[in-house]
Amino acid sequence: MRAIEFRSKIRENKISLPRRIQSEMFNRADKTVKVVIFWDDADAYDEKEFRQMTKSQFLKGYANSDAVYDL
């Protein structure tokens, strides 16, 4: 597998490929790619939203039968 790293912006829910990447991708139509997206922390969830999301995701795995472990 080959990796290419570049910076881009999301506009209208699309990520633009820089020209140098476009030329490398020219003959690779219909190929499968793996995409990993990192963003700056300034754009991430604020602390309250993050805690709420974490709590709701955690509780999705909680069942009534788990209550035996509660104090």
pLDDT at residue 70 in the model: 74
Q: Are 28 and 21 in contact (CB under 8 A)?
A: no
pLDDT at residue 45 in the model: 60
Domains of the chain: which residue ranges? 10-62
pLDDT at residue 67 in the model: 75
pLDDT at residue 12 in the model: 92
The rounded distance, in Å, linking the Cα atoms of 17 and 8 is 7
Contacts of 1 (CB under 8 A, 6+ apart): 34
The SS3 of residue 68 is helix
Radius of gyration in angstroms for the set of CA atoms belonging to the chain, rounded to a whole number = 20
pLDDT per residue rounded down to tens, the chain (71 residues): 788 888 888 899 999 888 888 887 777 777 888 888 887 766 556 778 888 888 888 888 777 787 777 76
Rounded to two decimals, the pTM is: 0.45
